[in-house]
Amino acid sequence: MARVPRKVPCLWTYWELGLDLGSGHSIERRRLFSDIVQALGWPSGSLVFWPMSQADERGLTLRDDCFWEGVRLVQPHSIVCFGEQAFQALFPDRPCRYGWFDLKECSCLFIPGPADMLPDNRQAKQIVWQALRELKPLTTG
């Protein structure tokens, strides 16, 4: 069993992460997120990926119980939620608009997801890049 990091400043999630952590992963999504993390240059331990979905025979199923348990364990001060499907799964009663949403323990930043950015949607990538660059000071201090 993998060790769960504690008190990581920033937790990232997206709907397909449940697939990408297993055998159904997308090389394109993995490369996209690897490139983003590398380009940001945040210090090691600044972020953790945590899934909200689990792959099963029907595809992906929301596991908000596991997600919120992960949030409780990791104790991030911010969650970055990539993509509308992920946002709607976590916040079904909130409007889908990019930006910040307040939670009890932390804040959530909703930005375009991998399906929005791939194969090469420069407008979506620019929204993501700008939002994450502005978040950087929060993750390091």
pLDDT in tens, 16-65: 999 898 877 889 999 999 999 999 999 888 999 999 999 888 889 999 99
Tally the residues of the chain: 141
For the purposes of burial, counting CB atoms within 10 Å of the CB of 111, is it exposed (0-12), middle (13-18) or buried (19 or more)? buried
Structural domain count, the chain: 1
Answer whether 0.85 is exceeded by the pTM: yes
Distances (CA, A) of 46 to 6, 7, 21, 127: 11, 9, 19, 21
Residue 50 is encoded by which pair of tokens? 């945590």
> Quick one: pLDDT band at residue 83, thresholds 50, 70, 90?
very high
Please tell me the predicted confidence (pLDDT) of residue 136. Answer: 67
CB neighbours of residue 74 within 10 Å: 20
Please tell me the predicted confidence (pLDDT) of residue 1. Answer: 44
Q: Identify the CATH number of the domain in which residue 100 sits.
A: 3.40.470.10
Residue 18 is assigned to a structural domain of this protein = yes
Range of the domain at 57: 10-140
Q: For the packed helices 122-140 and 27-40, what is the interaxial angle rounded to 10 degrees?
A: 50
